[in-house]
Structure 1
Amino acid sequence: MLRVTSYVLAKDALDPAVSTVVLAHDGRHLRRKLLHLADGEMVMLDLKEAVLFADGDRLVIENGDQIEVKAAEERLYAITPRDGQHLLELAWHLGNRHLPAQIETGRILIGRDPVIRAMLEGLGAEVSDVVEPFQPVRGAYHSHGNHGSHGHHSHHSHQGSGHSHG
């Protein structure tokens, strides 16, 4: 079985991927795990420290081939504010509850929770059910660990791109 011992951030990925692995947002924080690829193969991920992977990041197999990490489609709420100020207020309420959120220019995506939906609607937001990839904003204290095959340590931001997936 092939092993994954390094990775490349999406923005630095130049080579085509030989396969993909589809993972939900809460399954993309990994250090050591057996991964089932979309083509039916399996690889052992074995990194020195845990890494929070984003959609498009690449896992590098010991033979040099790359596997693309794809964000799984998840059952979410799309929260639409009245305006930009309202979006900021809604984001504050969600952040105050420490909820993973993907914040975009005209909407916020969160995991489905009927209690939170009622709160948001009570605050005047339009809330709709969607199924799409989910890339929450990273926490302020999140470290990405070792990057690349050279073992150097650096920090990179993977915060939301502002692009809609749906």
Structure 2
Amino acid sequence: MIKKAIEIKKDIQADDSVLLDWFDMQKPNLSAITQEGKEFIVKAKYTHLHEDDILVCEDGYKIKVSKSEDNIYTLTFNDHITFARIAYEIGNRHQPICIEDYKITILEDISTTDIINSCKENSSVTVKKGKVLFKPNGNAHHTH
């Protein structure tokens, strides 16, 4: 039986947990499976989920939200022009981004595959693939 989460709370005891990646935590209509194998959907009003949110289901079952590591690409640049151009291209795809000094971290996503491939061919860019807890700058991936 599919559980329906109807409310989101904080700081209460949970019966179960679910591990979600960054994209899943942004979904307005989420369905997932908990660590205990319970299938659920979220039918509560929210903009996105946060680490340690507790999803309270109709039957009182409580599911703690935990953040999983995400597949990411880290792009490190040797020059400011290439850095700015790539940041601009990623921004035009409306993708979440973490910008640091001459370094950009983005989530692995089909919409940026061409950008990653062009960076791999560019000698002024170092591309590394990894798995980390992704934390974008600002209000990334907002709605209009």
Query: Does 1:116 find its partner at 2:115?
Result: yes
Matching residue of 1:97: 93
For residue 26 of structure 1, give the secondary structure of its aligned residue in structure 2.
helix
Identity between Structure 1 and Structure 2 (%): 19
Aligned length: 134
What TM-score, normalized to structure 1?
Answer: 0.57
Select 1:14's aligned residue among 11, 14, 31.
Answer: 11
Cα 1:141–1:27 shift into 2, 3 Å: closer
Q: Deviations over 1:16-53 (max 9, x none)?
A: 443221233333303364x3101222334223x56432
Select 1:30's aligned residue among 5, 28, 31.
Answer: 28
Matching residue of 2:75: 79
RMSD: 3.5
Partner Cα distance (2:63, 2:24) in 1:
16
Select 1:59's aligned residue among 55, 58, 62.
Answer: 55
What TM-score, normalized to structure 2?
Answer: 0.64
Matching residue of 2:38: 41
Structure 2 unmatched ranges of 5 or more: none
For residue 15 of structure 1, give the secondary structure of its aligned residue in structure 2.
coil
Cα 1:68–1:135 shift into 2, 3 Å: farther
For 2:107, the aligned partner's letter is: I
Q: Deviations over 1:58-107 (max 9, x none)?
A: 32234666422233434321223448x67972432310233x23315454
Q: Contact 2:87 / 2:104 at 8 angstroms: preserved in 1?
A: no
Select 2:64's aligned residue among 52, 62, 68.
Answer: 68
For residue 30 of structure 1, give the secondary structure of its aligned residue in structure 2.
coil
